[in-house]
Structure formats: structure tokens, C-alpha cells
Amino acid sequence: MSINTYRLIISCPDKVGIVAAVSSFLAEQGGLITEANHYLDPDSKWFFTRQVIDADSLSYDVEELRTRFAPLAATFDMEWRIRDTSAPTRVVLLASKQAHCLSDLLYRWRSDELDFEIPAVISNHDALRSYVEWHQLPYYHLPANDKAEHFAALTDLLDDLAPEVIVLARYMQILPPKICTRYAGRIINIHHSFLPAFAGAKPYHQAAERGVKLIGATCHYVTDELDAGPIIDQDVARINHHDSIDDMVRIGKDVEKTVLARGLRYHLEDRVLIHGNKTIVFE
């Protein structure tokens, strides 16, 4: 079995024969399907599928596969893409002062636990420079005292870096609509609460005031509506009345790291399909 695969991702209006048509097409091309996932949304009647094909089973490259598949896609009004997994995804990481999520992602990157390329780390503070540069990665400090200047510089820098994905690893700035729209479905954020509860600033303080018994973290796509984008992954940790806000922050950081890494993995592996303001995640 080869390491290199092609991932075929499809969403379209449901119709009899979609699975048979796709499977037959791949079989006729000599394509070996190594993984297949399907889902029909009962409300919208939209069909979703993720097919993984052994690249070595085909006698041609991914561009030819796209060309040959296009007529079938048109027949079923498909929204589709095919990704060649031999090319690592370009992921730009944004952070502020807190290092726990950034540190966790850099560890997973260095240990090859997550397969992606990091062209740069960007921050509105200089506090994490030495840590990032120890990893031999470019570090860009863009002060945010003037928000307009900060986001103008960020926009220009992102244009130069050409990321496929942007990860907000506790980047404590609210992105302007222009950036959210330009990279729609490609900006991943970690929010330190179980959304939609306690959106916005200081969610642990909000949780403490409410006396909750569970705190959580949410990995979601960024939209121009604060903390309201499609959710990729969530998890929780149990607390009680003995736990101070500092305890909750400490406990929550572990949840944040896990949820962000899992959400990024799902995205990198093309397991997340956005449908309106929710997601289908093929775990």
C-alpha cells in the first residue's frame, strides 16, 4: 500500500446512484479505494462523501484525475475537490502571549504527529520569539497598538506567505471581516469555552460566576461573527466549587490543546465538510 493518496471530497443534493457512480468511476480508472465515508443530512437532503484513493493504483497524476472526474461531478451538481496528500498543507500559526496551544502544535509538528508545513509564526507580541526561533521557524512580530496598521500588515504578510490554513493558537485579536471572508473555511480558532456558552472575553470568569460544573473548549472556523463559526470539535473537563479561576484556567488549557490539535488534524485530513453554519466530521 502506498503512502501517497488522493482524497476526493464531495457534497451535493442527494440523488439515487451517487455512491454507485463514484465507485464505478474509480473502479473503471483502476483506483483502489482505501477509505470511504458517507453521510446524508436529513434536513437539507444534502449528501456528503470522503473517498481516499491509493495514488499508485492509478496510471496518471492528480490533474488527470480531476479532468476525468469533472463530467461526472457536473452530472450530479457536485461541489468537490481532490487533494494530493504528497504535498503538505501550508499552515501559518498566529499567537499572542500564551504558549500552550502553540507549543503543543509545534511539538506535534516536530515529531511528525501532524503532517503540515509551517512557513511562519505571527504574533502581536514578541514574547514567543525565542521559543519559535529555537524551532528554526520564521517569527513575525506585528504590534497591535494600532489595529488598522496591525491588520494591514497582517494582510500583506499573509499574501506573501500564501497559507492554505491559518490557525489562531490563542491569538487574542478579533480578525476583521476582510480577512475572515478571504480565508473563509480556512481559519481555525480555539475558544476556551464550550460554545455557544460564554462567548467573547474571559469565559473562565463567566463560568465561575455561573457556577458551572463543566468547562470546555471549542475548535471552530472563524467567521466575521465573533465565536460563532462552524464548530469542528469540542471537549469538556469536570470542575467543582473548590476550583478557583486559576484552577479552571489550568484545567482548561489541557482541554484547549487537545481540542485544537484534534480539530486541525481533522481539517488536514479533509475530514471536515462545512454545511451552512455546521460541519460534518468524518472521524
CATH number at residue 260: 3.40.50.170
Which residue, of 84, 112, 141, is where some domain finishes? Answer: 84
The structure's pTM equals 0.94
Q: Which one of 227, 233, 243, 270 is the catalytic residue?
A: 227
Summarised one tens digit per residue, pLDDT across range 114-130 is 999 999 999 999 999 99
220, 234 Cβ separation under 8 angstroms: no
Counting the structural domains of the chain, the total is 2
Q: Active-site residue 246, yes or no? A: no
> What's the rounded Cα separation, in Å, for the pair 244 and 239?
10
118 and 155 inside one domain: yes
What is the β-pairing status of strands 79-84 and 5-13? antiparallel
120 and 255 inside one domain: yes
74 and 113 inside one domain: no
Tell me what pLDDT residue 280 has.
97
Which residue, of 35, 62, 84, is where some domain finishes? Answer: 84
Summarised one tens digit per residue, pLDDT across range 189-219 is 999 888 777 777 788 888 888 888 888 899 9
Lowest mean pLDDT among 46-60, 66-80, 190-204: 190-204
Which residue, of 33, 66, 84, is where some domain finishes? Answer: 84
42 and 102 inside one domain: no
58 and 183 inside one domain: no
Percent of the chain's residues with pLDDT above 70: 99
Tell me what pLDDT residue 1 has.
41
Which CATH number covers residue 62? Answer: 3.30.70.260
Tell me what pLDDT residue 196 has.
78
